[in-house]
Amino acid sequence: MSGAGRSTAARALEDLDWFVVDNLPPALLPTMIDLAARTRGAVPQIAAVVDVRSMAFTEDLLSTVEDLRSRGIGARVVFLEASDETLVRRFESVRRPHPLQGDGRLTDGISRERELLRSIRGEADLVVDTSQLNVHQLKAKMVGFFGKARETRLRANVVSFGYKHGLPVDADLVLDCRFLPNPHWVPELRPLTGQDEPVRDYVLAQRGAKEMLDSYTEVLRLLVSGYQREGKHYMTLAVGCTGGKHRSVAMSEQLAARLRDEGVEVNIIHRDLGRE
């Protein structure tokens, strides 16, 4: 999405010694790969920034990516997005119109772009919502995703959140923990969080908690195996409760530990901890 941080992401990849090409029409991607091959290893990694400035890409980007993969090239699509409110604020701060705005409002351009990018977002290997990220945090995310050459190992973000603050828009999977009794209503547990042992023990002792963890672990085991077969390297699992302080935090920590046991590299994010 325009305004979602593509320039920051591109600079982060440049710092990691990727060869970055901005505004490259997808039809030229195979040509770039062929040119890189002639350098005899001098250009091992290429990142192409593709957006609405290249209007034809909405039709041929995905087919180009599939063509590259059929040639044995590890092509991946990273999709950057942000909420409408965030994008409006960013465009207004730099006093620039949206590239698809035309004679309409800024929100009209954003809406048109979302519709154009819908199919590409759905097929992306990694979706990053930058609404709550500053430039340093986005750069750190890109370094975390691409800074190490462990391509065969699945990496997962496990994000705890509170439903009252909204769902994480970049989640691949969402687990709802609101069926468990809320520690908020236990006076001695209310000031604590799911990272504290008393809260963790309380949550895990509730009817259905262990069964949920066991059952969902089996589901995750199947998904991890399938993702690895299909070459998917990243997964975001969101675990929610009402406020994002007790149940979701405790359950996400447990699921993260189980994912690690399956050989998955896990990063835990407690999105709404401290917002109560």
Cα R_g (the chain), whole angstroms? 21
| Annotated binding-site residue? 54 | yes
52 is in an annotated binding site: yes
How many alpha carbons lie under 13 Å from residue 256 in its C-beta half-sphere? Answer: 21
**DSSP character string of the chain:** -TTSSHHHHHHHHHHTT-EEEES--GGGHHHHHHHHHTTTTS---EEEE--TTSTTHHHHHHHHHHHHHHTT-----EEEE--HHHHHHHHHHHT---TT-TTS-HHHHHHHHHHHHHHHHHH-SEEEE-TT--HHHHHHHHHHHHSS--TTS-EEEEEEEEGGG---TT-SEEEE-TTSPPGGGSTTTTTS-TTSHHHHHHHHTSTTHHHHHHHHHHHHHHHHHHHHHTT--EEEEEEEESSSSSHHHHHHHHHHHHHHHTT-EEEEEETTTT--
- Name the binding residues: 51-54
- Name the binding residues for GTP: 51-54
